């Protein structure tokens, strides 16, 4: 007994070492599997405050650039609206549909404006931190977009901050389709190039070509239909040869994200609730 006690006292640091390593790995695997470990991430209050302060300083450096891009985009969109109205008039249709569509969009979609306070693009798994959290209505699994396209999906939230899984994370998978043909697949990232992602599971009989526009499909109830994702750059066979894989040039520039919008879609909640009912029903039938 005495010897045992001596042994434990002499090598106590080994036990400490094993204990600390177990804690580390528990954190590692918990973060990968469960949500709600927000305390150990940048959604944590202290980390959030530090990054917020730092981003408040650095955000000024990009202002001119952002302004230029916004102006460009505004001009393009205005031209587009004018062009579309002309086409509609020429066809003799009334302009009623446009107005009703925009009313529906603004009614069901509400956007929460948020600032990106921390961002990375060079790791295998990247994360964004936003300065909006539960208190502002942000919840896990809400979609995040910026002016140029899809950004990612909310992963963890604390009271005032949230962590987003951007497209540039190996865990992200977003349901997308080719705008012209409606063939859909899943957008995933291969962990290397922050400008490109792959659209997988496109059926072999799908006819697609370089330059096709990829948009969200609206099936995944995170994003509404038709939000811009990117442009097809290359088409090749998937590893198993059963489907096409498309290399997509992403429209969002992840290295320059500053302000984004979190989509909270009231209709999406209904869809999700229905799907859950179906899933539960299947479980009880078994």
Partner 1 sequence: MAFIVLVFFQVLVFNHVHLFGYATPFLYIYLLLKLNLGTSRAELLIWGFLLGLAVDIFSNTPGVSAASTTFYALLQPILVRLFTPRDSDDTIEPGFKTMGIAPFIRFIVISVLLHHTVLFTIEFFSFVNWTDWLISILSSTLLTVFCVIAIEGIRMKKKAS
Instruction: Determine the Cα–Cα distance for residues 261 and 277; give it in Å rounded to an integer.
Output: 29
| Segment interacting with partner 1 (CB under 8 A) among 120-128, 178-186, 207-215, 236-244 | 120-128
Q: Which of 6, 8, 25, 82 binds partner 1 (CB under 8 A)?
A: 25
Contact assessment for residue 132 and residue 149, using Cβ atoms and an 8 Å cutoff: no
From residue 67, how far is each of 61, 115, 130, 147, 258 by CA, in Å? 12, 16, 21, 12, 12
| Contact window for partner 1 (CB under 8 A) among 96-104, 123-131, 235-243, 272-280 | 123-131
Query: Of the ranges 12-20, 141-149, 204-212, 218-226, which one interacts with partner 1 (CB under 8 A)?
Result: 12-20
> What is the rounded distance in angstroms from the CA atom of residue 206 to the CA atom of residue 151?
26
User: Which range, of 18-26, 65-73, 101-109, 217-225, touches partner 1 by CB under 8 A?
Assistant: 18-26
**What is d(CA 204, CA 241) in angstroms, rounded to the nearest whole number?**
9
Describe the chain by its helix, strand, coil percentages, rounded to 5: 40, 30, 30
Q: Which is nearer to partner 1, 141 or 213 (CB)?
A: 141
Element (H, E) at 116: strand 109-119
Q: How far is the CB of 281 from partner 1 (least distance, A)?
A: 34
166-195 footprint of partner 1 as x/- string (CB under 8 A): ----x--------------------x----
Check binding of 17 to partner 1 (CB under 8 A): yes
Stretch that binds partner 1, among 67-75, 117-125, 144-152, 243-251 (CB under 8 A): 117-125
One-letter-per-residue 3-state SS of 224-252:
CCCCEEEEEEEEEECCCCCEEEEEEEECC
Among 112, 114, 129, 131, binds partner 1 (CB under 8 A): 129
Q: Mutual orientation of helices 2-10 and 12-33 as an angle, nearest 10°?
A: 60
DSSP for 150-218 reads: EEEEEEEE-SS-EEEEESSBTT--EEEEETTT--EEEEE--SS-TTEEEEEEEETT----TTPEEEE-S
Between CA 262 and CA 130 the distance in angstroms is 10
Q: Is 163 in the site for partner 1 (CB under 8 A)?
A: yes
Regarding 115 and contact with partner 1 (CB under 8 A), the answer is: no
**Which residues 43-102 are close enough to bind partner 1 by CB under 8 A?**
44, 46-47, 50-51, 54
| Closer residue to partner 1 (CB): 54 or 67 | 54
Q: Which is nearer to partner 1, 31 or 186 (CB)?
A: 31
CB of 168 to partner 1, least distance (A): 13
Rounded to whole angstroms, the Cα distance separating 165 from 100 reads 33
Which of 6, 7, 8, 21: binder of partner 1 (CB under 8 A)? 21
Interface with partner 1 by CB under 8 A: which range of 11-19, 64-72, 89-97, 210-218? Answer: 11-19
Q: Which positions touch partner 1 (CB under 8 A)?
A: 12-13, 16-17, 20-21, 23-31, 37, 40-42, 44, 46-47, 50-51, 54, 120, 122-124, 127, 129, 163, 170, 191
């Amino acid at each position: 007994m005495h010897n045992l006690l001596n042994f434990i006292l002499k090598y106590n640091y080994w036990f400490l070492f094993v204990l600390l390593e177990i804690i580390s790995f528990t954190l590692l695997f918990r973060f990968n599997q469960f949500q709600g470990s927000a305390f150990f991430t940048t959604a944590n209050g202290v980390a959030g405050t530090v990054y917020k302060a730092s981003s408040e300083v650095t955000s000024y450096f990009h202002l001119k650039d952002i302004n230029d891009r916004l102006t460009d985009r505004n001009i393009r969109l205005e031209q587009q609206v004018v062009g579309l109205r002309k086409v509609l008039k020429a066809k003799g249709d009334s302009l009623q549909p446009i107005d009703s569509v925009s009313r529906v969009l603004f009614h069901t979609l509400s956007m929460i404006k948020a600032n990106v306070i921390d961002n990375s693009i060079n790791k295998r798994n990247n994360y964004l931190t936003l300065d909006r959290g539960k208190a502002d209505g942000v919840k896990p699994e809400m979609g995040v977009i910026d002016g140029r396209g899809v950004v990612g999906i909310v992963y963890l939230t604390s009271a005032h901050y949230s962590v987003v899984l951007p497209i540039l994370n190996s865990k992200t998978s977003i349901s997308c389709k080719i705008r012209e043909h409606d063939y859909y697949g899943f957008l995933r990232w291969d962990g290397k190039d922050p400008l490109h992602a792959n659209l997988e599971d496109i059926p072999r009989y799908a006819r697609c070509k370089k330059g096709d526009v990829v948009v969200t499909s609206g099936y995944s109830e995170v994003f509404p239909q038709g939000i811009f994702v990117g442009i097809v750059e290359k088409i090749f066979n998937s590893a198993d040869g059963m489907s096409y894989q498309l290399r997509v040039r992403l429209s969002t520039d992840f290295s320059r994200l500053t302000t984004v919008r979190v989509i909270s879609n009231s209709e999406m909640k209904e869809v999700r609730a229905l799907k859950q009912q179906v899933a539960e029903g299947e479980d009880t039938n078994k």
